[in-house]
Every structure is written in C-alpha cells, then in structure tokens.
Chains A and B, each alone.
Chain A
Amino acid sequence: MYPQAFTYHRASSLKEAASLLSQLGEGGKLLAGGQSLIPLMKLRFANPAHLVDLNFVDGISYVQQKNDALHFGALARHAGIEKSPTAAKIPILHDCAAGIADVQVRNRGTIGGSLAEADPSGDWGTVLLTLSCEVRCIGVTGERSLKLSEFLKDAYTTALASDELVSEVVVKVPPENSGGAYIAFKRAAPVYPTASAAVQLSLEGDRCREIAIALGCVGLLPIRVREGESLLRGQQITPKLIESAAEAARAASDPQPDMRGSADYKRQLVGALVKRATEAALQRARGQQVEVSHIYA
C-alpha cells in the first residue's frame, strides 16, 4: 500500500522542526517512530502533504537521571527504555516499555510520539498519569512545560500548538517504599490492549500513604480512579479494600464496545487488572521483586 505522495523534510534540531512546522502550516506532520503514523498514511486515514522527520536529530533519545527525576528525550524508543537500567529505577516504566506491541515496533516507536498521538489505547499516557510527569514542549517562540494531565486534552488531542512538539518527558522518581505496576490485556502482541491498568503507591509502615490508579483503553483519555484511590489512601491494604478499588475502577470506566469486547466485558476486565496491578505494586513497595508482564488472551 502506498501513502499519498508527500514532501520529505529532515530536521537537524528540534528547533528547526518547530520552525518547519510553523512554515508548513496544517499540511505538515512530524515523523517520529512512525509506528502509528505510517500505517495511518498507508490506509489514507492521514494524508499529510509534508513530513518533518525527527529521526536524524542527534541526541534526543536519551534516558538519564538528573537529581530526583528521570528525563526521556522525545525520541527515546520503547526498546531503549525497556533496556535502560536508569528507567528500571521506576519499575512501572519498565512494565510499560517492555510490553508495548512487539520487538520490531518497540525498536522504532518513541515515548514522545506516543504521548503526542494521544491514542486512547496507547500505553504511556495511562502509566505516566500515575506518576509526577511533565511534558516539555518546544515551539518557535520558546519552550514550556506542562503537567501530563494538562497536556492530554482528548482522544488524539493534546495541548500542543500546530507548530510545537514534545522535546522531553520528565518523571519524578517516587519516594522510598514506593511500588507500581502496569498490566495490559491483549489479544496478541502487535495489537492495542483491550484494557489496561496502572497502579503506583507508596507505603508508610503498613499503611498506604499515596496511591494513583489509572485505566487505559476504557475511555477517550486515560481515566484516574479517584474514588478507588481515596478508599485505599491512609489504610492498611487488605484484599477486601483492593476488591472495593476494583469495583470503583469498573464504575469509573467508560468503555466502548468494539471487536475487542463488549462494554460490560471490558468493565469486568479492567476491575480484574486493577486488582492484579495493585497486588503487584504493593509487593514491590514492600521491596519484593515481582515480574509483571502483559496478559495475552
């Protein structure tokens, strides 16, 4: 399948990419990993007249720690994050990176591209919403930093202006005695999950000090389960409380029926995923090594 013809521009810096976007106007699109954009172009769902390729910009695929935060360059590939010992300091990030699609897609796909696309079935938005995360953006007029919750506006819609792009994703390292886990349920590796759940919590003694629960693929945006979080916050986490949080997750979800399942099925599923992710997060917060991976049907 051939995409519609387009003009190719190779950016040599993020700044240049922003100025190209500004010159090209509506017809210009950024090419990062291309693992969503290229299929969309082949199906002619996206027909940009111009592509601005970021893949030849040097030094924007880093994963590094600076003080109490991890910094991800816009072009950090999922595979790079999966293999990074630095990223592994926040285990939920490794869960996410290692489970996205398959090896080939992870070798190309990027964290910046994934967030900027804001696909309701994407993985990064859900995971990063449970952490303190800022998205740095660069445009012709300068740079700004947005909280992820401000960055994500709607399905496929972000706060990025048409001549602006993601330059970096910054994630604060959680405090001691923290643990998190992300579990997605998929029909096969290369497809988007049917539903997913991310849980990040911290303990004070045997009580839950802070907790964030987010759901993926069951709404237009990743959904925070505020009610479930307040049930667990300050409490000693028991199986009964976890069940209540799962129930709150089912209530908070707003799934659409599609080829992956009915709305009811997805609601049941997402509750079960919250339960498993909370159990794994709790074990990790207690210092236990728990391997978490996506579940395949």
Chain B
Amino acid sequence: MPDITQKVSIQVRVNGKPHSRAVEPRCLLVEFLREDLELTGTHIGCDTTYCGACTVLMNGAAVKSCTVFAVQADGAEITTVEGLERDGELHPIQKAFGDCYGLQCGYCTPGLMLSALQLLKDNLSPNQKQIRKAIAGNTCRCTGYQNIFKAIETAATKMRSAGHGD
C-alpha cells in the first residue's frame, strides 16, 4: 500500500504550456492552478460547487476546478482566464465584458468568461435562453446579469464576423 501522503506525478497542459508536477492526491485543481502554477486568475468563491468562480475548461468542457482533483487532470488540456488573450490582444469575450460593463467587482468574471467560451465554441449564435443556461452555474453577486448577457451576445457577434474558431 503506498504511503498516504505519497504524491502522484501528473502532466498537464495549461493554456498550451506543458507542466510536470508531483501533487498530493487531495490537491484540488483550483489549488494546483493558483498555488503550484501561480495562475491566480482562477478564483475560489464558495468552494462548494455552487458559484462557478473557479470555472476552467478541461479538454474543452467547463468544470468547477474546486470539484476536480489535480490528479484527475493528468494528461488534460486546461484553459484558464490567463489563456484567453493572444499576443497581448484581449479575447473578444474579454473585450466585450469590458465594453458592456459586464462586471463590477470582477470576482466572478474569469469563471463567467470561461463558461461563455464553452458556449461560443459550439454556438456562435446563441439565443437568450441558451446564454442563460450556459451561465446558470456562475453566480454574480454585484449586478443583475443583464450586462453579462449583453457582453456574451456582443462577443458572439464579434466572433461570428471574425470567423473565430476559439
């Protein structure tokens, strides 16, 4: 039987960059991202699988990284908010959140943008209902979501006209 504190080696690509680390089995993906890789854009809100502040993409699918162990991400491709901008250019989703005032304090914003990204990867013309469903797992406690809906619609329009693949 292995020692209870024995670490497990994992290899993860985060925002395109490969990382090899040994992690404790109980280390959560969000802690691995924030503390081992120092990617602190992914936030911890409720820490109970409710608020979605810790949302990242794991192999293209939005997950709450407070509810996935880092060892489960072995071999996976992770996208965090830090991976959205390209060559100093903000991603259309980031730009739209700013332009539409889709945030106040910004705490929930990284998670919301990753949920929006999962939606727009498959559907560049989402209707209001689809947008609501896509971000139902992300809680914003500052505002009333209206500007967030506008931001996602605006990003969709931009990405449609730019022929955006991601």
Binding site for B on A (CB under 8 A): 1-8, 10, 31, 34-35, 38-39, 41-43, 49, 51, 53, 55-56, 79, 101-105, 107-108, 188-191
| Bound CA–CA A194/B104 (angstroms) | 31
19 pairs from A and B in contact (CB 8 Å cutoff): A3-B26, A7-B3, A8-B8, A8-B71, A31-B69, A34-B72, A38-B67, A38-B68, A38-B69, A41-B26, A42-B28, A55-B72, A79-B61, A102-B52, A103-B62, A104-B115, A108-B67, A189-B137, A190-B49
Inter-chain contact B63/A108, CB cutoff 8 Å: yes
- A5 engages B67 (CB within 8 Å): no
- Given the complex, which residues of A lie within 8 Å of B115, measured CB to CB? 103-104
- Measured in the bound complex, the distance between the Cα atoms of B55 and A38 in whole Å is 16
Are A103 and B118 interface neighbours, CB within 8 A?
yes
Give the docked Cα–Cα distance between A108 and B68 (Å).
9
How far apart are the CA atoms of A191 and B139 in the complex, in Å? 12
List residues of chain B with CB under 8 Å of any chain A CB. 1-6, 8, 24-26, 28, 47-52, 55, 58, 61-64, 66-69, 71-72, 74, 115, 118, 133-134, 136-138
Bound form: Cα–Cα A8–B8 in Å = 8
- Beyond A1-B47, A6-B25, A79-B61, is A103–B69 a contact (Cβ under 8 Å)? no
User: In the docked arrangement, what's the CA distance between A102 and B118, Å?
Assistant: 13
Residues of B within 8 A of A56 (CB): 74
Q: Chain A residues with Cβ under 8 A from B134's Cβ? A: 103
Which of B6, B48, B49, B58 has the largest number of chain A CB atoms within 10 A? B49
User: What CA separation (Å) do A284 and B68 show in the bound complex?
Assistant: 38
Nearest-neighbour CB distance to chain B for A151, whole angstroms, equals: 26
Whether A53 contacts B50 in the complex (CB less than 8 A), given A103-B133, A104-B137, comes out as no
If A5-B24, A190-B49 touch, whether A105 touches B137 (CB-CB below 8 Å) is yes
Residue among A42, A104, A108 with most chain B CB within 10 A: A104
Q: Say whether, besides A5-B4, A39-B49, A42-B48, A53 and B71 are in contact (CB < 8 Å).
A: yes
